[in-house]
Amino acid sequence: MDRYCVFGNPIAHSKSPDIHAAFAAQTGQQLTYDKRLAPLDGFAAAVHAFIAEGGKGANVTVPFKLDAHKLANALTIRAQAAGAVNTLLFDAHGITGDNTDGAGLVADITGNAGVAIAGRRLLLLGAGGAARGAVLPILEQRPAALVIANRTVATATALVEQFAALGGEGVLSAGGFGDITGSFDIVVNATSASLQADLPPIPASVFHPGTLALDMMYGKEPTVFLRFAAQHGAVPRDGLGMLVEQAAEAFALWRGVRPDTAAVLASIRQTL
């Protein structure tokens, strides 16, 4: 039976095994998928050990997405653009690195939330790994504007410069949290502020009635960001749909079949 896993540190909280087990049952695929705690200084060794055991592929979560990028001997376009890898495929060619996070985000917004990105104004909060993975898939949807706001403006500016040549010319702009003007149709929180129950210092004016406010974090209760957004007329959405959709993208890469995510998302939601 083909073997897959997710590497992380910590990893006990991961929902990925439940998601992939549900996908396998739904599509009739014979596989196992488990959680692996990799030592902070031993990611590459952990991956090679898993390959030696017959592993066919793996997901990668914090803090190893940059390590996975370094380890892969081939990268997809979106992994190159993101500068980070969350999905590994092991075959005769070696280790291929992909990044399905941004595709998962876009699929959740356009499919599950039913909100078009084309022609809309988007605000992306943060310029770290989570934000980097989202930029190219968002640009491929042809938004009217994508503003990247970050505490360190230089980091956001560097992202804009990197992606300007990939369809971002005239669409992309960067600034600090205090520089944001106007309202947006979609606001995505890709900062880690929610982990500290904190809020990015953004003006409430970024929201208008009906703005989709999506936090990449998820939990039983809404994050501080989602509560703030809802108070100002936005429609709040957490990151669980993104998690399920990026998993579906990885599953399709590994197995050549795309699972239906709606039922899986609903059942995982019940376990929070």
| Binding site feature residues for NADP(+) | 126-130, 216, 239
65 noted as active-site residue: yes
How far is 232 from 251, CA to CA, in rounded Å?
A: 37
Catalytic residue among 56, 65, 70, 220: 65
User: How many Å apart are CA 154 and CA 159, to the nearest integer?
Assistant: 9
Q: Cα 42 to the chain's mean position, in Å? A: 24
Q: Which residues are annotated as a binding site for shikimate?
A: 14-16, 61, 86, 101, 218, 246
Instruction: Measure the CA–CA gap between 110 and 160, rounded to whole angstroms.
Output: 23
- List, by residue number, the catalytic residues: 65
